[in-house]
Amino acid sequence: MKRVLKHLSNGKYVDLESQESDIWEDSMRNQYAQTLRNTGRIEQLEAGQADIRELVKAILSQRWPSHRAVVQYSHITPPVSWSAFAESLDIIEKQHENVDYWSRIRADMEDKIVVIERTTLPFEEKLSAIKILYCELEENFAEIPHRVALCAVMEKELAAVEELLEGEEIEYLAWCVSLVRDVLDYNYAETLESSHLKLLEKAIDLICNKGMNCDKEDYRGLHKEFLESRLTLVPISQKAIDNYED
Protein backbone atom coordinates (compact mmCIF):
# COMPACT_ATOMS: atom_id res chain seq x y z
CA MET A 1 0.00 0.00 0.00
CA LYS A 2 1.33 3.33 -0.95
CA ARG A 3 1.81 5.58 2.15
CA VAL A 4 0.74 9.13 1.75
CA LEU A 5 0.57 11.91 4.33
CA LYS A 6 -1.06 15.24 4.05
CA HIS A 7 1.71 17.82 4.11
CA LEU A 8 1.14 19.84 7.23
CA SER A 9 2.04 23.25 5.99
CA ASN A 10 0.37 23.39 2.60
CA GLY A 11 -2.27 20.67 2.85
CA LYS A 12 -1.06 18.84 -0.25
CA TYR A 13 -0.69 15.07 -0.20
CA VAL A 14 2.85 13.91 -0.46
CA ASP A 15 4.11 10.62 -1.68
CA LEU A 16 6.62 9.58 0.97
CA GLU A 17 8.29 7.07 -1.24
CA SER A 18 8.96 9.72 -3.82
CA GLN A 19 10.62 12.05 -1.33
CA GLU A 20 13.98 12.00 0.28
CA SER A 21 13.14 10.75 3.76
CA ASP A 22 15.80 12.94 5.37
CA ILE A 23 14.38 16.07 3.86
CA TRP A 24 10.95 15.07 5.07
CA GLU A 25 12.17 14.45 8.59
CA ASP A 26 13.99 17.75 8.73
CA SER A 27 10.92 19.51 7.50
CA MET A 28 8.78 17.90 10.18
CA ARG A 29 11.30 18.62 12.92
CA ASN A 30 11.47 22.27 11.99
CA GLN A 31 7.73 22.56 11.97
CA TYR A 32 7.45 20.80 15.29
CA ALA A 33 9.98 23.11 16.91
CA GLN A 34 8.02 26.02 15.57
CA THR A 35 4.90 24.45 16.98
CA LEU A 36 6.40 24.45 20.45
CA ARG A 37 7.69 27.96 20.13
CA ASN A 38 4.29 29.14 19.08
CA THR A 39 2.72 27.38 22.03
CA GLY A 40 4.77 29.43 24.40
CA ARG A 41 4.31 32.78 22.74
CA ILE A 42 4.46 35.45 25.38
CA GLU A 43 2.11 37.76 23.61
CA GLN A 44 -0.55 35.08 23.77
CA LEU A 45 0.02 34.72 27.48
CA GLU A 46 -0.20 38.44 27.99
CA ALA A 47 -3.42 38.54 26.02
CA GLY A 48 -5.01 36.60 28.85
CA GLN A 49 -4.68 33.16 27.36
CA ALA A 50 -2.29 32.20 30.07
CA ASP A 51 -3.75 29.01 31.39
CA ILE A 52 -1.90 26.55 29.21
CA ARG A 53 -0.29 24.77 32.09
CA GLU A 54 -1.92 21.50 31.18
CA LEU A 55 -0.58 21.69 27.69
CA VAL A 56 2.90 22.64 28.80
CA LYS A 57 3.00 19.96 31.48
CA ALA A 58 2.01 17.40 28.92
CA ILE A 59 4.85 18.45 26.70
CA LEU A 60 7.29 18.47 29.60
CA SER A 61 6.28 14.98 30.60
CA GLN A 62 6.99 13.93 27.04
CA ARG A 63 3.53 12.72 26.33
CA TRP A 64 1.08 14.17 23.93
CA PRO A 65 -1.76 16.32 25.20
CA SER A 66 -5.16 14.76 25.34
CA HIS A 67 -7.54 15.31 22.49
CA ARG A 68 -9.62 17.42 24.91
CA ALA A 69 -6.65 19.64 25.65
CA VAL A 70 -5.90 20.03 21.98
CA VAL A 71 -9.47 21.09 21.31
CA GLN A 72 -9.55 23.32 24.38
CA TYR A 73 -6.38 25.11 23.47
CA SER A 74 -6.77 24.94 19.74
CA HIS A 75 -7.01 28.75 19.67
CA ILE A 76 -3.42 29.03 20.79
CA THR A 77 -1.98 26.10 18.90
CA PRO A 78 0.12 26.86 15.90
CA PRO A 79 -1.17 26.62 12.35
CA VAL A 80 -0.14 22.96 12.21
CA SER A 81 -2.85 20.48 13.19
CA TRP A 82 -1.94 18.48 16.28
CA SER A 83 -4.03 15.48 15.29
CA ALA A 84 -2.51 15.32 11.86
CA PHE A 85 0.86 15.63 13.40
CA ALA A 86 0.17 12.92 15.94
CA GLU A 87 -0.68 10.54 13.12
CA SER A 88 2.86 10.78 11.93
CA LEU A 89 4.01 8.60 14.80
CA ASP A 90 6.81 7.02 12.94
CA ILE A 91 8.53 10.38 12.60
CA ILE A 92 7.72 11.40 16.15
CA GLU A 93 9.25 8.19 17.44
CA LYS A 94 12.50 9.22 15.87
CA GLN A 95 12.27 12.62 17.44
CA HIS A 96 11.70 11.02 20.83
CA GLU A 97 15.02 9.35 20.44
CA ASN A 98 16.75 12.66 20.08
CA VAL A 99 17.50 13.41 23.74
CA ASP A 100 19.27 16.68 23.10
CA TYR A 101 16.35 17.92 21.13
CA TRP A 102 13.94 17.21 23.97
CA SER A 103 16.26 18.73 26.54
CA ARG A 104 16.28 21.95 24.59
CA ILE A 105 12.52 21.95 24.40
CA ARG A 106 12.20 21.23 28.11
CA ALA A 107 14.51 24.08 29.03
CA ASP A 108 12.62 26.37 26.71
CA MET A 109 9.26 25.43 28.15
CA GLU A 110 10.47 25.70 31.74
CA ASP A 111 11.35 29.30 31.00
CA LYS A 112 7.88 29.81 29.67
CA ILE A 113 6.43 28.31 32.86
CA VAL A 114 8.19 31.02 34.87
CA VAL A 115 6.65 33.60 32.58
CA ILE A 116 3.25 32.00 33.01
CA GLU A 117 3.51 32.00 36.81
CA ARG A 118 4.55 35.65 36.79
CA THR A 119 1.89 36.89 34.46
CA THR A 120 -0.97 35.24 36.26
CA LEU A 121 -0.82 37.70 39.22
CA PRO A 122 -3.95 39.81 38.76
CA PHE A 123 -2.46 43.12 39.89
CA GLU A 124 0.26 42.81 37.26
CA GLU A 125 -2.33 42.76 34.52
CA LYS A 126 -3.73 45.96 36.01
CA LEU A 127 -0.27 47.49 36.11
CA SER A 128 0.15 46.76 32.41
CA ALA A 129 -3.11 48.58 31.82
CA ILE A 130 -1.80 51.55 33.81
CA LYS A 131 1.36 51.64 31.73
CA ILE A 132 -0.76 51.76 28.58
CA LEU A 133 -2.88 54.51 30.12
CA TYR A 134 0.25 56.47 30.90
CA CYS A 135 1.36 56.25 27.26
CA GLU A 136 -2.03 57.60 26.22
CA LEU A 137 -1.71 60.38 28.78
CA GLU A 138 1.73 61.31 27.50
CA GLU A 139 0.46 61.45 23.93
CA ASN A 140 -2.53 63.59 24.83
CA PHE A 141 -1.04 65.64 27.61
CA ALA A 142 -1.50 68.92 25.73
CA GLU A 143 -5.24 68.38 25.46
CA ILE A 144 -6.54 69.27 28.87
CA PRO A 145 -9.95 67.52 28.82
CA HIS A 146 -8.22 64.38 27.60
CA ARG A 147 -5.61 64.74 30.32
CA VAL A 148 -8.24 65.18 33.01
CA ALA A 149 -10.16 62.13 31.86
CA LEU A 150 -7.07 59.91 31.62
CA CYS A 151 -5.78 61.02 35.03
CA ALA A 152 -9.16 60.16 36.54
CA VAL A 153 -9.17 56.73 34.86
CA MET A 154 -5.62 56.09 35.98
CA GLU A 155 -6.46 57.04 39.56
CA LYS A 156 -9.37 54.56 39.52
CA GLU A 157 -7.12 51.86 38.09
CA LEU A 158 -4.52 52.49 40.79
CA ALA A 159 -7.25 52.30 43.42
CA ALA A 160 -8.20 48.92 41.96
CA VAL A 161 -4.57 47.78 42.18
CA GLU A 162 -4.51 48.92 45.80
CA GLU A 163 -7.58 46.77 46.43
CA LEU A 164 -5.94 43.81 44.70
CA LEU A 165 -2.86 44.24 46.85
CA GLU A 166 -4.99 43.96 49.98
CA GLY A 167 -4.45 40.25 50.16
CA GLU A 168 -0.80 40.41 49.20
CA GLU A 169 2.08 41.04 51.51
CA ILE A 170 3.88 43.37 49.15
CA GLU A 171 4.17 46.35 51.42
CA TYR A 172 6.40 48.72 49.51
CA LEU A 173 4.87 48.09 46.11
CA ALA A 174 1.51 48.98 47.68
CA TRP A 175 3.05 52.16 49.13
CA CYS A 176 4.35 53.21 45.72
CA VAL A 177 1.00 52.52 44.06
CA SER A 178 -0.79 54.44 46.78
CA LEU A 179 1.61 57.39 46.38
CA VAL A 180 1.00 57.70 42.64
CA ARG A 181 -2.71 57.39 43.27
CA ASP A 182 -2.51 60.23 45.82
CA VAL A 183 -0.74 62.46 43.32
CA LEU A 184 -3.57 61.97 40.85
CA ASP A 185 -6.22 62.19 43.52
CA TYR A 186 -5.07 65.39 45.23
CA ASN A 187 -3.86 67.42 42.25
CA TYR A 188 -6.14 68.75 39.54
CA ALA A 189 -4.90 67.27 36.27
CA GLU A 190 -4.98 70.67 34.56
CA THR A 191 -2.34 71.91 37.01
CA LEU A 192 0.14 69.17 36.12
CA GLU A 193 3.25 70.19 34.21
CA SER A 194 5.46 68.24 31.86
CA SER A 195 8.05 67.77 34.63
CA HIS A 196 5.32 66.13 36.71
CA LEU A 197 4.51 63.87 33.80
CA LYS A 198 8.13 62.69 33.67
CA LEU A 199 7.99 61.96 37.36
CA LEU A 200 4.78 59.99 36.93
CA GLU A 201 6.48 57.99 34.20
CA LYS A 202 9.40 57.27 36.50
CA ALA A 203 7.06 56.11 39.24
CA ILE A 204 5.03 53.88 36.93
CA ASP A 205 8.22 52.39 35.50
CA LEU A 206 9.44 51.65 39.01
CA ILE A 207 6.15 50.01 39.93
CA CYS A 208 5.95 47.96 36.73
CA ASN A 209 9.60 47.00 36.48
CA LYS A 210 10.46 46.39 40.12
CA GLY A 211 7.02 45.20 41.13
CA MET A 212 7.22 43.00 44.16
CA ASN A 213 10.90 43.87 44.62
CA CYS A 214 10.17 47.50 45.50
CA ASP A 215 11.76 48.26 48.84
CA LYS A 216 11.46 50.98 51.46
CA GLU A 217 14.28 53.02 49.96
CA ASP A 218 12.62 52.96 46.54
CA TYR A 219 9.49 54.34 48.14
CA ARG A 220 11.36 56.91 50.22
CA GLY A 221 13.21 58.18 47.12
CA LEU A 222 10.03 58.35 45.06
CA HIS A 223 8.18 60.21 47.80
CA LYS A 224 11.04 62.68 48.12
CA GLU A 225 11.07 63.37 44.40
CA PHE A 226 7.33 63.99 44.33
CA LEU A 227 7.67 66.23 47.36
CA GLU A 228 10.41 68.28 45.70
CA SER A 229 8.26 68.62 42.58
CA ARG A 230 5.76 70.57 44.74
CA LEU A 231 2.88 68.29 43.92
CA THR A 232 0.41 67.85 46.75
CA LEU A 233 0.81 64.43 48.32
CA VAL A 234 -1.59 64.64 51.25
CA PRO A 235 -5.30 65.52 51.42
CA ILE A 236 -4.87 69.25 51.93
CA SER A 237 -5.51 70.48 48.40
CA GLN A 238 -8.66 72.15 47.15
CA LYS A 239 -9.40 69.00 45.18
CA ALA A 240 -9.12 66.87 48.33
CA ILE A 241 -11.33 69.30 50.21
CA ASP A 242 -13.89 69.21 47.39
CA ASN A 243 -13.85 65.43 47.24
CA TYR A 244 -13.55 64.42 50.86
CA GLU A 245 -15.17 67.12 52.95
CA ASP A 246 -18.84 66.84 53.90
Q: How far is CA 82 from CA 34, 51, 105, 117, in A?
A: 13, 19, 17, 25
Q: Do 173 and 196 touch, CB atoms closer than 8 A?
A: no
Instruction: Report which DSSP code applies to 51.
Output: -
Pairwise CA distance, residues 100 & 63, whole Å: 17
Pairwise CA distance, residues 113 & 45, whole Å: 11
Nearer to other proteins, 19 or 237 (CB): 237
Nearer to other proteins, 88 or 178 (CB): 178
Helix (H) or strand (E) holding 5: strand 4-6
Q: Minimum Å distance from CB 43 to other proteins?
A: 33
Q: Minimum Å distance from CB 119 to other proteins?
A: 24
Q: Minimum Å distance from CB 99 to other proteins?
A: 51
Nearer to other proteins, 153 or 160 (CB): 160
Nearer to other proteins, 39 or 232 (CB): 232
107: amino acid identity, one letter: A
Q: Minimum Å distance from CB 126 to other proteins?
A: 15
Residues in contact with other proteins by the rule CB under 8 A: 162-163, 166, 171, 174-175, 178-179, 185, 216, 219-220, 223-224, 227-228, 230, 232-238, 240-241, 243-245
Instruction: Report which DSSP code applies to 65.
Output: P
